[in-house]
Every structure is written in C-alpha cells, then in structure tokens.
Chains A and B, each alone.
Chain A
Amino acid sequence: MRTRVVVTGLGVVAPNGNDPQEFERSLREGRSGVGANLSMEEFKFACRVAAVPQRTDEIAAEMFGEDELMAMNSSHRYCSIASIQAWQDAGLERPDPEGDEVDWDTGAFLGTGVGGMDTMGERVVPFTDGGRVRRLGSTAVEQVMASGISARVSGQLALGNQVTTNSSACSTGAEAIAEGAARIRAGLAQRMLCGGAEGASHYIWAGFDAMRVLCRNFNDAPEQASRPMSASAAGFVPGAGAGVVMLENLDSALERGARIYAEVLGAAVNCGGHRGGGSMTAPNPEGVVRCIRSALADAGVDPSEIDFINGHLTATGADPKEIASWSRALGRGAENFPPITSTKSMIGHTLGAAGAIESVATILMLSGGFIHPSINCVDRHPEIEAFSASIPDNALDLPNARTAIKAGFGFGDVNSSLVFRKFEDA
C-alpha cells in the first residue's frame, strides 16, 4: 500500500493573521489584510495598495537572536516564523542551536517566487553602483540566493534531509507541498516542512505594476481592491507572507501521537508548454484541466466527491477562464458545482507564498468545517453568473465537508493541484 502523507503542523504569516488561529478568525470574518502602501505612493506606482503582514519584526525579535536577524530580510522573516510555528504546532521542540544533533529524516521544500528583491534593491544595487561593494558585509549573499529561505530554516531546526527552494512563480507554494509529499511517499523522508514565502518590497511589485496587472482602481478603498470573480475585478493586489505545513508519513505521525489536520490525498504539477493559448503569462487551459484531473486521479477521488474548491482566482480577467477549467476538469456544470472561494480576496496575491498560505487556509477550512467568504464579489462577472450560487459571500458552515481541492497557476504556464481530505481515521 502507498505511504500515506498527513499534515501535522501549520504555520502562517499572512496579511490578515500572524498565526493559524488569528488567520482562521480573519478568514471566518472575511477580514481583509489589504492596506494603503506608502512606498508605492512615493514611487508613483499606479497601484498603491498591498497586503503586507503586520508586527512581524516584533515576532521575529522574540524568536531569533540579533546576529541572525541582521541577515534576515522580509522573506526570511516570514518563512522562518511560519516554519517555527509549523514545527511547534506539530509537537516538536526547537533544537538547541549549540547542540550537534541533526534530524536526518526531516527536510524542507520552502519556495519563493521572486526572492530577496528587498536586499537587492536596498543594498546590493546601490552599494555596488556606488563603488562600495565592501560595505555589503557578509549577509548579502545568503539573503539573495534563491535557496536562502530554506537554508535559513534548516539551520534553525537542524534539518538533515533534502533542503531546497523550489520556484515556479505563483505555483511555487502548492508545488512545494506536492514535491514534499512525493518525497515522503518515496520513502526518502519521514517529515518535510513545505511551503513558500514572498517578501514585502515595492521592488518585487514594480514589474507587475508596469505590466498593468495590479489593481489601480481602488487606491482609496484598499480593502475593496482584491475582487476575484467580480465584474469590477481590475487586477491583483500584491501581497507578502509565508505559509508552511509539516507533512509527515502517517505511521510516524500515529506513532508519536501527533494531531493530524488532514491527509494529502493527491497532488499533481505540470506545465502547459506555452501552447494552446498558454504563454509566459497565461495558462494553457488544457494544462490546467490535466493538472486538476491528475491530482484527482492521484488521490483516487471522483470529481463528485469534491466538497469545495480554493481556487487560484487572482482578480484578473483570468478568473472566468479558471472557473471554466474547473468546471470542465470536474465534469460539473453550474447546476452541481461545488462552493468555490478565493483566499486572495482577503490577502491579495502573495505570489510564491500564495499556494502555501492558501493551502493552510484550505486545511483550516476542512478541519474547522467551514468555507471562508470570497469577499468583494458583489458584482459577479457576467461570464460566471451561472456559478453565482457557488461563491460564498459570507462564511458557511460545511461540517460534512471531507475533501477539498486547491490549485495554483503561475507565470511560465505552470500548474499545481492538491487534494486534501479531512483526517478521520487511520
């Protein structure tokens, strides 16, 4: 029988909650984490709203020493906080930083979409251009190397299995979970910390603003700016944060009596090959449909068993196409379409962290028996009018929901899909 993979710990640093409990409360209440952004205003962005986690420097100062904090930019901080949370939530103790013990059976897939752009923009570029390379000190490399976030966490937790950083744009966070689950199934690791992080920096967001894909119509009403599936959706709101899940071999979880939130029943990742309407910036619908179906097949789940969907749904023109792909992949028309929600309606698009934070949301919804509202969808997009009843405007109790599906789609025409099941019995 195939090795079963379960979720035994959750960690999250989101724009509307700095731990799973606060995040769940915000999700239930439909609380937005989007706010006005002074840097975007100062530097004349068209979009001047962003979704940024709050009070994270204080939290980081309680968790990490001064020496380490000096080398931790925003993505390092978010990723480290969420990873330590997930670790402790899984019932594990933080190891002695001066001890020699290494946990050879636990590794990490902690991805990022863009990486340490704040360090690049604030230090590397101005210091280098100013002829002051020497003044960069020793901490620039570890903050701009793509694998910096996973490397950071491996030191904090003495991880000795595979530790790496994946990157597949906005598919990154969900891909990390898929890859971690695969490693455990292959018998190569007992536990994997999986997820993604994205820093908060106008340097990360500038290129998206130039592409005109960020929302510029709601600068005076930040909480209304992220409007997935609405007719007035005018682009995504850039976000930041981290989501991390502790994946564990079921036998290991049972043996140590760990609390089990959910099972990763199935996973799939693929690429649309930039064909059939796909491109660097748009998904090939065939790739999306295949990815969702592959995850269902991997899970051994019939599409009729899906109780709700947490979509990618960024609040761009791609939302109606995504709904059409879900409908085709599941073979379920508007008349029997499951509830579908967008966590991005509250936290914006956290890029490389999105799939991970939204997976944490999905797991919290499954274990808590509810679906969070997809806020600001007051005017359904005309193309998805028929699916209107499936979009929750308020939190709904779903006590009997057992199976949920999450997907993430990224620039580069890459896709990932995860099927989670509420954990009932071994």
Chain B
Amino acid sequence: MTEDDALERVVKILTPHVRNEEALANVSAETNILDDLKVNSARLVDVVLAFEDEFDIEIPDEDVDSVNTVGDCVKLIVGKAN
C-alpha cells in the first residue's frame, strides 16, 4: 500500500466528521484533524475504529496520542499495514 493510496482512504473516513469543508477541499498531509478540519475530538475514537476496519490493522491507544495531522494517520497506518 502506498502513502497516496492510504491518504485517499483516510480522507474518505474523515469526511463525514469534517466541519470545515474548505480545509477538506485543500487537504494535505499537513492538515491538522482537529484544528483545520474541525473534527469533534470525541469522534477520533470512531475514526480510529474505522481505520482498523478499513486497513485490517490494530491501533493501540498509545499510538493514537501522537496523531495530529492527516499525514500522521497515513504514516501510522502504512507502518502497521506493511
């Protein structure tokens, strides 16, 4: 799995939770999930579960703490999946 492939699927999972459509339109690896996309922080729990289902991986809680940007998600997922 390439990082580009993972990025596309990560954005798709984040999309229903995004409250800033403009930031979503210009999404990149640097985009911050809470500050830029305005995702409700409580919903990160659901986003992580969706990542696990989508990529067939397990993401321990301690790994989630270091995730801030879309790129952080991609790196974490690609690292686990490969």
Contacts and interface: CB of A to CB of B under 8 A. Distances in A.
Contacts of A138: 42-46
A98 B42 contact: no
Contacts, number: 24
Interface stretch (A21-29, A63-71, A83-91, A278-286): A63-71
Contact of B46 (A65, A70, A97, A98): A70
A67 B40 contact: yes
A97 B45 contact: no
B19 interface: yes
A138 B40 CA distance: 11
Contact of B16 (A66, A98, A135, A137): A66
B17 interface: yes
B49 A70 contact: no
A199 B51 CA distance: 30
Interface in B1-30: 16-19
Interface size class of A (residues with CB under 8 A): 10 to 19
Interface size class of B (residues with CB under 8 A): 10 to 19
Contacts of A135: 49
Contacts of A139: 46
Nearest to B19: A98
Contacts of B18: 67
Interface in B32-82: 38, 40, 42-46, 49
A91 B38 CA distance: 30
A65 B45 contact: no
A98 B40 CA distance: 12
A67 B49 contact: no
Interface of A: 65-67, 70, 97-98, 134-135, 137-139
Given A65-B16, A67-B19, A138-B43, 20 more contacts: A66-B16, A67-B16, A67-B17, A67-B18, A67-B40, A67-B43, A70-B46, A97-B19, A98-B19, A98-B38, A134-B49, A135-B49, A137-B45, A137-B46, A137-B49, A138-B42, A138-B44, A138-B45, A138-B46, A139-B46
